[in-house]
A = this chain, B = another copy of it.
Amino acid sequence: MNSVKNLPEKTIERLSQYRRVLLDCLRQGKYNIYSHELASLLHINPVQVRRDIMLIGHNGTLRKGYDVKRLSDMIGTIIDSKEGQKVAVVGVGNLGRAIMTYFQGKRTKLVIAAAFDTDPAKVNRVIAGIRCYAASEMEEVIRKEGITIGVITVPPDKAAESAEKLVMAGIRGILNYTPVALNVEPHAYLEEYDMVTSLEKVAFFVKNRS
């Protein structure tokens, strides 16, 4: 299982998506799933699904497909840490709040443990079930709570500063939702998402299909 450390980013993304679908199946009482069903639900190629799942050392059977519970647990051992990881949200605006609300209870091994903002009206309050601290307390809270991941949802002009503070506080992974391309120390893993890109992609394909 040592080789899973070297799985490409895109494979990890798909494994996470497979698990989302598998957990949905379990909730619906569906205990077996074929690769083509999984593929169709995620709009990808069944060959891709089979290749990814073989890569993590799992196999289905021709007759019944994959065992939903076993495959989902297996993906869990790859993505999750045994002891779990804690996440901080920096910037409790609409997007920060959406993420805090959305994530509640979604995954047991990945928990939003703190939020940070500079607005006195938000500081020291519990918002969407998560305690909001002053931005000035960031380093202290992150170290005390053992938070390893930071999600940045501040206004663009505060993005670089927030990333710097997170890394100084010992954060090892950042998910950046601002449109500002960040530069962080190479020991911190950086993932960036800009919704304009998603929307422009849709716009492009709409334009060219007409």
Q: Mark A161-204, 1 if CB is under 8 A from B, else 0.
A: 00000000000111100010100000101111111111111111
* Segment of A64-72, A100-108, A137-145 in the binding face: A100-108
Do residues A172 and B12 form an inter-chain contact, with CB atoms below 8 A?
A: no
**16 more CB-based (< 8 A) A-B contacts, given A174-B202, A189-B202:** A5-B208, A9-B205, A16-B194, A16-B196, A16-B200, A16-B201, A79-B204, A80-B207, A94-B94, A95-B102, A106-B196, A110-B203, A149-B202, A172-B209, A191-B201, A193-B198
Assuming A98-B94, A197-B17, is B191 touching A81 (CB within 8 A)? no
What's the interface size class on A, roughly?
35 or more
Query: Which chain B residues lie closer than 8 Å to A17 at the CB level?
Result: 194, 197
Residue of B nearest to A109 (CB): B203
* Interface pair B181/A21, CB less than 8 Å apart: yes
Copies assembled: 2
Q: Which residue of B lies closest to A14 (CB)?
A: B197
Chain B nearest CB from A188 CB (Å) reads 8
Q: Which residues of B contact A200 (CB under 8 A)?
A: 12, 16, 79, 107, 110
**Chain B CB within 8 A of A132 CB:** no
Which chain B residues border A196 with CB–CB below 8 Å?
A: 16, 20, 103, 106-107
Bound form: Cα–Cα A193–B101 in Å? 16
Which residues of chain B have C-beta atoms less than 8 A from A26's C-beta?
none
Contact with B along A107-125 (1 / 0, CB 8 A): 1011000000000000000
Query: Are B210 and A172 closer than 8 Å at their CB atoms?
Result: yes
**Chain B CB within 8 A of A126 CB:** no
